[in-house]
Amino acid sequence: MKITAIILAGGLASRMGEICHEIPKSMLELAGYPFLQYLVSWLVKMGLNEVLISTGRLSEGIESIFATDFWGSKGVRIIREDNPLGTGGATRLACENCSNEDVFLCNGDTIVALNLFRLYEIHRILGTPVTAILTLSKEVPNQGAVSVEGGIVSEFCEGGEVRDLIDGESFFRGSSTGCYFLKRSTALPLFSLGSSSLEREVLPRLVSSRMVGAVNNGFGFFLDYGIPQRYEILKNNLWILKRIYGEPITDGGKK
């Protein structure tokens, strides 16, 4: 399927402390494989013909696995930042290097159960440059931070106070999963050159112009393991990871 997946895997991981001093969050091991291998494998098995891994600090560990002919034959490529660009700048750089008009953007440290193609069809119907995938899960730091009216995001408050979730028809309130669909040709000019934050700078600006749609992913599993406590939860519940992503693809048995 002609959809490019962009995985943001270049963060500083400052909240993880010493755990990520020499390894990026996305490469932390779970049941013998880095999480990124589960995620990339799932996207490949879903039939996406291009997967771009956006890297920065500590890119070498990611490149040692994925910058190979094996993964290249499956459409997997590394897009490396020369200087820190933030999530907004990294998204723009990856979009400049992708081959498809339709883009699925996600984080390299978030486990989320998605019906990817159903959500993609809703994005196509909305026709917005950016479509946010929202969750009604209460296990989210920015609970209730995104308000939606008639399929268009009317308020996006990253880091705002926790508010009641609302599951409605024309209006609902949920939380960002960190996953988005983009229309490359219309979204790319909306991202500024240089460093920026996707959810603190870019999206609030686009929301003010009613350029961001939203799809409701309901109460499916969601876990951002960006802090050590959540990583421990995940390590103790590996069955969830395998239920969502299945077994990872391996290069001739290599990790």
Give the pLDDT confidence of 53-86 residue by residue, as tens digits.
999 877 888 999 999 999 999 999 999 988 889 9
Domain assignment present for 28 = yes
More confident residue, 254 or 107: 107
How far is the C-alpha of 241 from the C-alpha of 150, rounded, in Å? Answer: 33
For the chain, give the mean pLDDT.
90
Tally of domains within the chain: 1
Q: Which residues of 94-110 are buried (b: 16+ CB within 10 A; e: fewer)?
A: bbeebeeebbbbbbbbb
Give the pLDDT confidence of 170-225 residue by residue, as tens digits.
899 999 999 999 999 999 999 988 899 998 899 999 999 999 999 999 998 998 88
**Please, which pLDDT band fits residue 11 given cuts at 50, 70 and 90?**
low
Give residue 175's domain range: 3-245
Domain assignment present for 147 = yes
More confident residue, 38 or 159: 38
Domain assignment present for 101 = yes
HEC string for the chain: CCEEEEEECCCCCHHHHHHHCCCCHHHCEECCEEHHHHHHHHHHHCCCCEEEEEEECEHHHHHHHHCCHHHHCCCEEEEECCCCCHHHHHHHHHHHCCCCCEEEEEECCEEECCCHHHHHHHHHHHCCCEEEEEECCCCCCCCCCEEEECCEEEEECCCCCCCCCECCCCEEEEEEEEEEEEEHHHHHHHCCCCCCCHHHHHHHHHHHCCCEEEEECCCCCEEECCCHHHHHHHHCCHHHHHHHHCCCCCECCEC
More confident residue, 227 or 245: 245
Domain assignment present for 157 = yes
The pLDDT score that the predictor gives to residue 10 is 75
CATH no. for residue 149? 3.90.550.10
